[in-house]
Amino acid sequence: SKRLDISTPYDPVYLTHVGFNPSLREFTGLPNEWQQALQESEISQQDRETNPAAVMEIVRFYQEGRGDVWD
């Protein structure tokens, strides 16, 4: 019989589902890196609660490497 060699995964893609819980007024499912970036940003808790969609756009922009929006 012929032996098959199976390689390790290459070029993996990780999918992340992030949401906003309106009753708790907080984001859910944020990866650790995003949580840290959000905590280190100058985006206030009030801004996060008022417009969570805009905050998610900023985080995505930053994570995609299109610029350093925190500076």
The structure's pTM equals: 0.46
Mean pLDDT to the nearest integer, 11-17: 77
CA dist., res. 21 & res. 47, Å (int): 15
The DSSP output letter for 18 is -
Write down all domains in the chain, each with its CATH number in brackets: 19-62 (3.90.810.10)
CB 19 within 8 A of CB 26: no
Chain segment 19-61, per-residue pLDDT in tens:
888 888 888 888 888 788 777 877 888 888 888 888 878 777 7
